[in-house]
Amino acid sequence: MILVFGGTTEGRVAAKVLDESGASYWYSTRGDLQDIQLAHGQHVIGAMEVPEMVTFCHEHDIRLIVDAAHPFAVNLHRNVVNLAGQIGVPIIRYDRIFPHHDEDIVWCRDYDEAIAQLKAQGVHRLLALTGVNTITKLRDYWQVHDCWFRILNRDESLTGAQKAGFPVDRLVYYEKDDTSALIERLKPQAMITKESGLSGGFSEKVDAARQAGIKVFVVERPEYPTADGVTVHHVNGPHGLRRMVEKLLPEFYPLHSGLTTGTCATAAAIAATTRMKTGETTPSVPVILPNGETIEVEVIYGDGYAAVFKQAGDDPDVTNGIEIRASVEPSNKFEIHGGDGVGKFTVPGFDFPPGESAINKAPRQMMLDNIKENVSITISVPQGAEIARRTFNPRLGIEGGISIIGVTGIVKPFSEEAFISSIRKCMQVAKASGSDRVVINSGGKSERFVKAQYPDLPQQAFVEYGNYIGETLSIANELDIKNITMGVMLGKAVKLAAGNLDTHSRHTTMDKDFVMSMLHEADIDIDISDLTLARELWERIPHEKLQNFATVVISHCNRYCAPLLPNGNLTILLITDNGTIFKQQ
C-alpha cells in the first residue's frame, strides 16, 4: 500500500497517476479544503504527528511513501523522513519543476535575509506574494514600511492575518486582481515571492514584475531533509512518479510503462554530447521530457557513440530491446541526421518533407531542448531496417528503417480490463458530481478544447475514454447518464465512422476508401491517394466545404454510437488540431 501526502497540485497529479493502476492507496491532507476525487484512493483528513503516522502505516501495511506536499512544508517533510526511518520504507519526493536562478532576481536564503536585502536596497513599498503564514516572518519589515500581502479570500487566511496584527486595509486577494493588475494599482517598488515552482505560478509572478520594471526578491525553497538509512527518490512529474513506483513497488501496476524511441535517441544524444565535451561517461543521463519534467535514462557507450536499449515496458512493441545510438560532432549549427536503420519519409503529410529522415518533430525538439548547443547529431538503429518490416512504416510511406517518434516521451501501457475499470469508476464519479452532462474525450488535448464549450461543468464531469468509445458509451447507458457529449479528433473519428468502436492503431487503421466515400457524400472532389494522416484533410478540403465534411463524419459516427445510448442524448463534437469545433448541422 502507498501513502501520499498531498494537498497540492502535485498531490492531485499523484492521485491521478496512482489511480491508473486500479489498486488502492491512501491520500493524506491536513484539512479538507482540497477538492479531489479519488478513483481508487482513500482520503484521510487531519494533521498527524510522527507517532500517529507510524501507527497508521503499520495498520495499513504502508510500503512506500509519496511526499507531494508543498516545497515550503518544512515540518511535514521532516516528519515524513522521520516516519520513513522508523518504518523502513523509501520515499518518493514528488517535487515541482523549478526555473533556473536568473541573475536579475535577488535570491534570499530565508526571510531574515530577505528583510536585510529589502532594507539595504531601499525598498519602502513592497507587494508580498509569500502567503499569509509568512506575515509574521516579515513583521520587522512591514511594521516600518508600506507593504501589501496577497492572501486567499477565505476566513482562515483573514483570521491568520488579523492574529498576526497585519492591517486589514493592506490585504489584497487572489480573485480580485492578477499580479500585473495589483502592481499597476499599488505601484510597489518591489515584489517578494517564494520559490514556489512552475505549478505555484512563479514564472507568471516574476514576468509581471519584470514587465512593470520592479525588482524581484525570492525566498529560496528549503532543501529536502535527509537522514541516515532513509532513501529518498526525487521526481518532478507524473511520468517520473509512475516509473519510480514501478521500480520500487513493481506489483502496484499490472503493466509497466516504457520509453519512446524519441526519448531513447535523446538520452543517447545527451550522453554522446557530454562525452565529446568532457570525456565523462555516466551510467545514466537526465532527460527533460516535453512536459518539462526530468527523468533518468540508462545509457551505454561504444566506439564513437552512446546508446540506449529501448524499454517498451509491457506495451507490445516490436522495437522493445533494440539499440538506439547517437554519435555527435562539433558543428556551427544544431542539426539532426538519420543514420543506418532510421527510415526516410517518402510521401508528404508528415512533420518533414519526403527525403527527410523519419525523426519526428517532438523528438527533434527534445534533443534541442536538452542539448542547447551547436552540434551535429546522427541517430542510428543497427536493427532498424529489419524491425521496420514488422511495423506500419512501409504502408505509411516510411522506408528503410524505423521512425524515431514519441509525443510525451513515455509509453504508458494499459490492460483493457484495467483501463475500462478506470473509465467506469470515473463515470460513476461524474454522475455522483450531480452534473447534468458528462463530457467524454480521447485525451488531454481534446478535453482542453471541449472544456471551453462547457465552462460551468465541474472537473469530474470530464472523462477520458482513450480508444474505448464503445465501452464508455455502454457504461454511460448502464449508469443511466442522460446527456453525453463526445469530443473526438479526426484521426479517431474516421475510424469510428467506419464502425470501429475501439480506435487503437493495433486494431484498426484509416480506411482511405471509406474516407473517399465520405468526401463524395459531402460533395468534395479531392485526391487523397497520397494521404498519410487523417488530419491532413483539414488542410486539403476547401474551407467552405469543411462543415459539410464534418457533418458527414459526425453522422456516420452517430450511426454506431447512438444505439449504445438508447435512453440518452449524444452530442458529438469533431475537433481540429487547432481547437476548432464542428457540430452536426
Query: Are 277 and 130 members of one domain?
Result: no
**Distance (Å, whole) CA 208 – CA 221:** 21
Query: Are 35 and 123 members of one domain?
Result: no
Where residue 67 sits, what CATH number does that domain have? 3.40.50.720
- What is the phi-psi region of residue 115: left when phi exceeds 0, alpha when psi lies from -120 to 50, beta otherwise? alpha
Query: Are 433 and 539 members of one domain?
Result: yes
Q: Give domain status of residue 18, yes or no.
A: yes
Of the residues 387, 411, 435, the one at which a domain ends:
411
Closest CA to 533 of 312, 360, 339: 360
The H-or-E segment that residue 58 falls in is helix 50-59
Query: Are 369 and 432 members of one domain?
Result: no
pLDDT for 365 equals: 93
Q: And the C-alpha cell for 120?
A: 539595504
Instruction: Give the CA-trace dihedral at 431, 434, 437, 442, to 10 degrees.
Output: -50
**Distance (Å, whole) CA 465 – CA 256:** 20
Query: Are 314 and 388 members of one domain?
Result: yes
Three-class DSSP category at 62: coil
Where residue 308 sits, what CATH number does that domain have? 3.30.2110.10
Q: Give domain status of residue 435, yes or no.
A: yes
Query: Are 212 and 268 members of one domain?
Result: no
pLDDT for 503 equals: 59
State the CB neighbour count (10 A cutoff) for residue 570. Answer: 18
Q: Give domain status of residue 196, yes or no.
A: yes
Q: Give domain status of residue 372, yes or no.
A: yes
Query: Are 37 and 179 members of one domain?
Result: no
For the sheet with 215-219, list strands across it: 105-108, 215-219, 190-194, 125-128, 146-151, 171-173
Of the residues 411, 436, 470, the one at which a domain ends:
411
**Distance (Å, whole) CA 554 – CA 239:** 34
Query: Are 444 and 515 members of one domain?
Result: yes
Q: And the C-alpha cell for 117?
A: 536585502
State the CB neighbour count (10 A cutoff) for residue 149. Answer: 24
The H-or-E segment that residue 449 falls in is helix 444-451
pLDDT for 508 equals: 64
Query: Are 161 and 83 members of one domain?
Result: no
Query: Are 566 and 428 members of one domain?
Result: yes
Of the residues 377, 411, 445, the one at which a domain ends:
411
Closest CA to 403 of 545, 260, 307: 260
Query: Are 559 and 443 members of one domain?
Result: yes
Q: Give domain status of residue 506, yes or no.
A: yes
Query: Are 405 and 488 members of one domain?
Result: no
Domain holding 92, by residue range, is: 2-96+237-252
**Distance (Å, whole) CA 364 – CA 338:** 11
Q: Give domain status of residue 226, yes or no.
A: no
Q: Give domain status of residue 229, yes or no.
A: no
| CB contact set of 257 (below 8 Å; sequence gap of 6+) | 239, 242, 243, 246, 313, 315, 410, 411, 412, 413
**Distance (Å, whole) CA 281 – CA 303:** 12
Phi then psi for residue 560, to 5 deg, are -95, -25
Total structural domains in the chain? Answer: 4
Can you give the pLDDT of all 585 residues of the chain as single tens digits? 999 999 889 999 999 999 888 889 999 998 776 678 788 888 988 888 999 999 999 999 999 999 999 999 999 999 999 999 999 999 999 999 999 899 999 999 999 999 999 999 999 999 999 989 999 999 999 999 999 999 888 888 899 999 999 999 999 988 756 889 899 999 999 999 999 999 888 999 999 999 999 999 999 999 999 999 999 999 999 999 999 999 999 999 988 989 989 999 999 999 999 999 999 999 999 999 999 999 999 999 999 999 999 988 876 677 888 999 999 999 999 999 999 999 998 877 677 888 999 898 899 999 999 999 999 999 999 999 898 887 767 766 788 999 888 888 888 775 566 567 668 877 887 887 788 899 998 877 788 888 888 888 887 788 888 778 888 999 999 999 999 999 998 888 999 888 887 755 455 677 888 899 999 999 998 888 888 788 888 889 999 999 999 999 999 999 999 999 998 899 999 998 888 889 876
Closest CA to 198 of 30, 8, 458, 365: 8
